[in-house]
Structure 1
Amino acid sequence: MTTQHAVQSPEWWRDRLYVALCKRTQDTSVFDSYYECDHRLPHLHEKAREPFKRLLRMSRANYCELVVDAFVGRLEVAGFQSDAEGDSDEKAWQLWQENNLDGGSQLAFLEAAIRGNAYLMVEPDARGGFRITPEHPTQVIVVYRPDAPGVPAAALKLWLDDWTGRMCCTLYLPSNIYKFDAPEPKTGGNPVWVRREVKGEEWGGKNVLGEVPFGELANRPRMLKPGASELRSVVGIQDRINKTITDRMMTQEYAAFPQRWVTGMEIPVDENGQDIEPFNIGQDKILMAEEAGAKFGQFAAADLTGYLKAKEADVHDIAAITSTPPHYLLGSMVNLSAEALKAAEAGLIHKIYQRRRFLEEGLERTMRLAGIASSQARIVWKSPEWRTEGELVDALVKMATLGVPREVLWERWGATPQEIERWRQLSQDALDRVIAGDVAAEYGPKPPAEASLAEQG
């Protein structure tokens, strides 16, 4: 029997978000399985599945992992940049480093690409600062106000405490935080939740941030739909590839070697009247028959070309649908010029720029929750484009002749905001030394008498 709770009460939010989180986890679990190469086995007749299980397991070629890694591998935050006075960008980068978000952000980007969403959680720490942690989309869900899209209304964090066997959850509302656990998690139904009392904390205590403390990293969201997996359109093609490989392997197993035949010869039998195989075939053997009319021959070996072309066509479909360069998936680069490679990667670069816009929203919200105003410290990404050093230097030299400031050239080179500041300081120090040297050369050192008088006042 389901207990009815008042709308927008803590218990109402808890049950509503728990059901939504479980449904989303179930819906996206297939994408996680395919990324981990845990694909559905190709379909075969029930009687054939057991004998061919070894071939079925060998048939899984994991293109899903390549699609995700080609995209996520070029998402990297380089720093923060501010046009306002002060050191907000330095504070933002220090906070980023203190929370190990160089690696943590990569984990969040990966899960967002696989399952469609990931989260960064912000909470005050004991030192008066903030702790930021990446959160898995199977453990956190955030819902937004229906009258104000983009404004979080509530969030739920769910986990299983494997030390005690208790299922725990925390409900975050803009005003308060409520903690629950289920001492005896049920299977096949909602857990029986009770309040989780924490020593030194008031149950339903105040949310000091005044907002839902999560920044959502959504991968290709739509206006009325949440983020979506990069593998949403790939799973079916991956199944086709696995089926083609299975058929090819079965053909290799039983028909790739030419079968020999003989006619006009009497087959010998044993004492039980059973036929005896007349030949022991080998590379160093000669087949001989005493019958005058005996003839030998062999059937043609099975042609595997059709299977190979079918697989290649499916791989090209994946490349086209996901904007992944074909040579990433096919592993072949034959006489490709630099211009051809750049053109092949144009779709992937465009996709990365597009996806980054939505990821930035979650990152900027996270930094704002941690006390860094997003309008003062914007995200700086490393360039997703791969260019040779010669090409880059040539382009920068031409830009310098047009009067582009050196800081902009350093940024185009790929320097982080922290490196740019250090280079600027080094340049200023060098300039100061040059100026000091020029003054000394023009006026010379002070005579000892003048120096002594100056010291005496």
Structure 2
Amino acid sequence: MKLARANWAGLVIDAPAERLGVDGFRFGVDGGKTADQDANRIWQENHLDADSDLIHYGALVQRRAYALVERGTDGRPVITHETPRQFAVEYEQGSRRRIAAALKLWRDDWTNMTRATLWLPGSIHYFATRREAAGFAVLRSELRTWDPLMLPGTTDGTATNPLGRVPAVDFVNRRNRRITGFAEHEDILPIQDRINLSLINLIAAMRYGAFRQRWAAGLEVDEDPVTGQKIQPFQLDIKSLWTTDDHEVRFGEFASTDLVPYVKAVESATQDLAAISRTPPHYLLGQVVNVSGDALKAAETGLVSKVRDRQRNFGESWEQVMRLAFRVLGDEQRAVAYDAETIWRDPESRTLAELADAAVKHGAAGVPWRQRMEGMGYTPQEIGRMEIDRAHDAMLAPAAEPTPLPTGQPPQDSRAVIGRGDVAQAA
């Protein structure tokens, strides 16, 4: 049964997760033309190039994940990933986005205690217990065993919330399917079980029915003189040949079990899984022989559409995380900048030739240079470095030679010639 496990559900989750990449953030305070450098610093300080995947995977697998924004000892924002196994939130009455309270419950191995932290808009409460179990069910049933935790700067385990709001943000996957979230693999679990069952039957048929069983008719079988049991005349062995002196004996073999129906059953279930989860079939079956690029792109259309939907939902949450981070820094302008935008990596797979051709056509249509570079997949940091290099190259480029005047035309003054050279250099 261990050999029959094929984790297609993991691939269904990996397919969209590997295309969810955040490149930066824009705020309307500067017109929203370039990525915000302060937001990028916050992102890099908290190692979110790597750790943002924890939040994305957590939401895709467990329906939801959380980001906690706190003030570090140096006054800078600290952003951490929180799992729903240890973290829970309560929303304001009638709202599914404004969080009224957040609770974290975990086992502290350093102090050998189970700790809990409760965030409210105006206060933060710390609790601890000697109970070893750290679960929300234990929290509800053992309230009397919890004591306030006297941390530095607290009064009876209570401190003032410096942000004035709950510093938690939820990342809910497929909120439009279920308000509490819906995991990527929930739809395909019955199909995954069907695939595993088909593989179990396939392996059993391979082990017990695929080998051709031989038979012998008219053969005298000797008996053991002591026990009276029949003595096996032949042993099944790839190196052995069955022979006998009796010309009346006939040999033969039974047909092996046909494994093709088992394989087709697995392939059929896999195709159902691909259709329901919108995972490209060539991801699952690996059949990419003699397939054109347009056909592969069409096969990935459903996956790209799904990724863009996740980007819209998760982008709202990342923007809220950044607003909280700027609130920690005291930047009230960006703390309430609701025109913030998350810059996502392009989820589509394009060749370099396709990107370059699109950039040339966009340039002819008047699309600005920076927008064309973003379309080619460059990150805001790469585009910033390229802008500096372009300015440097323009300064080092030789000045354009003045255009010679036709014969017989009176010479122009120096100001006119210099002006024409300036125009040529600007072009």
TM above 0.5, yes or no, is yes
Letter in 1 for 2:293: A
Maintained 8 Å contact 1:122/1:370: yes
Q: 2:168: which partner in 1?
A: 214
Pairwise CA distance, 1:185: 3.6
CA distance in 2, matches of 1:240, 1:306: 14
User: How far is 1:199 from its partner?
Assistant: 2.9
Question: By how many angstroms is 1:284 displaced?
Answer: 4.2
1:276 counterpart = 2:239: no
**TM-score, length basis structure 1:** 0.80
**Where does residue 286 of structure 2 map in the other structure?**
331
Q: Note the alpha carbon deviations across 1:138-175, whole angstroms, 9 max, x for none.
A: 11111211233321111111111123332111011111
Q: Secondary structure at the match of 1:370?
A: helix
Asked if residue 84 in structure 1 is aligned to residue 29 in structure 2, the reply is yes
User: In 2, Cα distance between the equivalents of 1:285 and 1:418?
Assistant: 71
Q: Counterparts in 2 of 1:227-266, with a 5 A limit?
A: 227-266=181-220
Pick from 267, 270, 280: which aligns with 1:312?
267
- Please tell me whether residue 378 in structure 1 is matched to residue 341 in structure 2: yes
Contact 1:81 1:417 in 2 (8 A): no
The residue matched to 1:57 in structure 2 has which SS?
Answer: coil
**SS of residue paired to 1:108:** helix
Instruction: Tell me what 2:257 maps to.
Output: 302
- Is 1:159 the counterpart of 2:106? The answer is yes
In the TM superposition, 1:29-44 aligns within 5 A as none
What is the rounded CA distance, in whole Å, between the counterparts of 1:298 and 1:88 in structure 2? 74
**Structure 2: which amino acid aligns with 1:368?**
R
Counterpart for residue 194 of structure 1:
147
Q: Number of residues paired by the alignment?
A: 386
Q: What letter matches 1:360 in structure 2?
A: G
Residues 120, 133 of structure 1: 8 Å contact kept: yes
Matches within 5 A, 1:381-396: 381-396=344-359
Tell me the distance in 2 between the aligned counterparts of 1:149 and 1:94: 30
1:200–1:269: structure 2 CA closer, same or farther, 3 Å change rule?
A: same
Q: Which residue of 1 aligns with 2:302?
A: 347
Q: Which of 123, 139, 149 does residue 70 from structure 2 map onto?
A: 123
Q: Matched residues in 2 for 1:196 and 1:345: separation?
A: 52
Quick check: 1:92–1:377 contact (8 Å CA) kept in 2? no
Is 2:123 the counterpart of 1:168? no
Further displaced range: 184-193 or 223-232: 184-193
SS for the counterpart of 1:95 is helix
Structure 2 counterpart of 1:72, one-letter code: A
Task: Give the Cα separation in 2 of the matches to 1:337 and 1:304.
Answer: 31
Q: Percent identity?
A: 39
Alpha carbons of structure 1 residues 168 and 438: separation in structure 2 relative to 1, 3 Å: farther
| Partner SS state of residue 57, structure 2 | helix
Find the counterpart in structure 2 of residue 363 from structure 1.
318
Question: Is the alpha carbon distance of 1:268 and 1:416 closer, same or farther for their aligned partners in structure 2, counting shifts above 3 Å?
Answer: same
Aligned AA (2:22): V
Cα 1:224–1:236 change in 2 (3 A) is: closer
In 2, distance between residues paired with 1:150 and 1:337?
44
Following superposition, the deviation at residue 410 of structure 1 comes to 0.6
The separation in 2 between residues aligned to 1:70 and 1:365, in whole angstroms, is 26
Residue 11 of structure 2: aligned partner: 66
- SS of 1:132's equivalent? strand
Answer yes or no: is the 8 Å Cα contact 1:259–1:298 preserved in 2: yes
SS at match of 2:29: coil
* Structure 1 position 140 matched with structure 2 position 93: no
Letter in 2 for 1:405: P
Partner Cα distance (2:287, 2:178) in 1: 40
How is 1:100-119 mapped onto 2 (pairs within 5 angstroms)? Answer: 100-119=47-66
Aligned CA distance change for structure 1 residues 69 and 322 (closer, same or farther; 3 Å): same
Q: CA deviation at 1:209?
A: 0.8
The answer as to whether partners of 1:89 and 1:376 remain within 8 angstroms in 2 is: no
5+ residue gaps, structure 1, are 1-55, 444-457
Distance between the aligned counterparts of 2:176 and 2:240, measured in 1? 69
Which whole-Å CA distance do the structure 2 matches of 1:158 and 1:436 have between them? Answer: 68
Q: Classify 1:88/1:355 alpha carbon distance in 2 versus 1 (closer, same or farther; 3 Å).
A: closer
Residue 430 of structure 1: CA displacement?
Answer: 2.9
1-side partners of 2:401 and 2:341: how far apart?
41
1:99 equivalent in alignment to 2:46: yes
Change (3 A) 1:380 1:438: farther
